[in-house]
Amino acid sequence: MSTIYDFTVKDRSGNIVSLSNYKGKVLLIVNTATGCDFTPHYEPLEEMYKVLKDKGFEILDFPCNQFANQAPGSEDEIHNFCILKFGTDFPQFAKIDVNGENADPFFVYLATEKPFAGFGKGLKNAALNKFAKINNKKFGDKTYIGWNFTKFLINRDGKVVTRFEPTEDMNNVRAAVEFELNK
């Protein structure tokens, strides 16, 4: 059975990074964008990272431009935006595709382990669901991620614990991270 440690990804400079470098850590894997209604998630993510990184926690940020072209910049432009606007200090990797024929195998694995189960209830969630269906129609059966800022929680053994859609309250995400850290 696979774990995330079986995968490699590219850093912002295009260098290959083995995810086995993160063995023993609790991880939050996030596909991000700089021009999305959920971009402010960077703020609680960075706050969580500052408080919990010394306890064995890492956030791995993967920019993606597949959702209404909300991450159009280069890796450097995206990185500079995140540092200047939100002071992010967690690792940011190369921009990737999370859906379609060119979907990164790592994200295919994550989404296969914890498939999309909907955005939840409420008007905002219903509106996002409608918009996402239109946007993601082009990916057909290769739609793995519903929208920007989908988060996957990984335990210290490299297993996917849970998936959080972007509509999930960030306090719930943090509570789940802290629970994993305290195991």
The DSSP H or E segment spanning 76 is: helix 75-86
H/E run at residue 59? strand 57-63
Q: Is residue 82 among the annotated active site residues?
A: no
Q: What is the total residue count of the chain?
A: 183
Of 36, 68, 94, 108, which is the active-site residue? 36
Distance CA 53, CA 65 (A): 27
| C-alpha–C-alpha distance, residues 5 and 159, integer Å | 9
Please state, as a whole number, how many other Cβ atoms lie within 10 Å of the Cβ of residue 36.
17
The residues carrying an active-site annotation are: 36
